[in-house]
Structure 1
Amino acid sequence: MKKILILFLYLFCCYADDDYECKNNDLNACYKVIKSSPSPIDFCQNVEEFNYKKTCAEYFYDITRVAHQYQAKELRDKLYMDFPKVCIDFIYAQRHLSNTIIEESLSMACEIDYIKACDLLVEQKMVDNVKYVEKSCNAGNYNACVELEYIKLKNNNLALAETECLQNNNCEKAFNEGTKNQEILLKLCENKNEKACLRYAELNASKNNGKYDEYSLKACEINVNVCMQKAKSLEQFLQFDFEGNIKTLKRYYEIACEKGLDIACEEFKRVEALNPDDYKFDGKVKTIRIKF
């Protein structure tokens, strides 16, 4: 008992010393306190003292790389106005992010004039927003200036194509021009264009309205290759939410099986037998490789 008390007092004194040094601008001491907490990401989510928040932002990648995407997103949203670099670290720390979520994260930082995020949007060709490309151009990015002129021309062509679609129901040109008009994408999806279904699903990926799964499944019903691709991707997430993902995973294989793909029938039987205990998240990222 005496040894336990001595150990407790030692740890308490170390924590107090580090906390004191942290508040005197020693970020290494701040990080020691954060790392010694039961859950560093929860500590960062709840702390308000500036030096701790700054440290959470500085070490965002290390703190969130094994965390659930939703936890990392919540911490990003708390910190990014003061420390916009976390929007980029969030992308590097998390695996399997949709293009929509990546674009959202970079746009958040670009919106508050973190130019590196604007440059990445241009570099990855993820944005048609003239304002963001213009910010990158004005900061001296030559490629952004070239892209800016292209976007202005493209936006004019897109506007004409969208008008033609909505007035005359001729929508393929609007799709090829990269439309994000959800009414147009829905029209095309209903006309059995699986790529339009997938694009509509991506636009709804971060909204938690159920449409991502609904329209991914519609694309799967049109093209069984989509079923297999989506199933392989989704299986990577069973460790985070087995009950929430297994039903959709089975449905992908079930649809492909019903459409005559024998290997999908075999995969459906395999996932039917999966044990949720094997997919409990233990803080480590498991990678499951499936060969077809």
Structure 2
Amino acid sequence: MKLLRVGTAGAERPALLDGNGTLRDLSGLVTDIDGALLADESALARVRAAAAAGDLPELDAEGLRTGPPLTGIGKILCIGLNYHDHATETGADIPTEPILFFKAPDTVVGPEDTVLVPRNSVKTDWEVELAVVIGRTARYLESAEEGLAHVAGYATAHDVSEREFQIERGGTWDKGKNCETFNPLGPWLVTADEVPDPQALSLKLWVNGELKQDGTTADQIFPVGEVVRYLSHFMTLYPGDVINTGTPAGVALGQPEPKPYLRAGDVVELEIVGLGRQRQQLKDA
């Protein structure tokens, strides 16, 4: 299923995109798309049954904003340098264990919402990423297969980053990752049953129409199931938690000088095949 949330910011309603591309209203069946829904197999079964029976009312999609496909996010865990080609382009050693940093849930915006360039920013960068959404509580998992079994679904994410804040201002990476609007998510949460192999997904990103990133999740150093297993040994993962699993080569940080960092007025588009496309225009904060 392709689950999404539509409407004005803060007042989105749950919806489903059916196999014909028609937007369907879920508000008569569920209150929202959140961790509680993803953990409730009977509720998800009711949604599937209603969709299959054609019982869901149609929504007029024209002019309707698409919000983030998930609300009530507990935590956003991010894996750094998780693609071989991205580690190579930045001159970093291949990690021997996943590199972890956090994003606050309030960085999440819709897939076409404005992204704000922070004040005093000179190195705002782009990163297309596969987002993994947890559907079952995970503690001390023993295998990558168990890790995959705890995934509810997948989404397209834009891990916007400010490299000076991240790398040159001391401390951890988090200062360059948590500026407002720095995690557009969606348009859809695609349930795991429709993504048979998360290591066979194509990721692309364009800036002002120019292709910058063109990668595949097959290049991940730590695949999805292993990332979930690994993280479950350091913290409990709960339904509705999100994991951004890293970005392929092609970010501004990896380009020759002068590096083409983002500025107000730029337009970024990104897509993971099967998970949907995003488009954001940048403005000054």
Query: Normalising by the residue count of structure 2, what TM-score does the alignment of the two structures yield?
Result: 0.25
Where relative contact order (Cα < 8 A, 6+ residues apart) is larger, the structure is 2
Larger strand percent: 2
Larger helix percent: 1
Q: Which has the larger radius of gyration?
A: 1
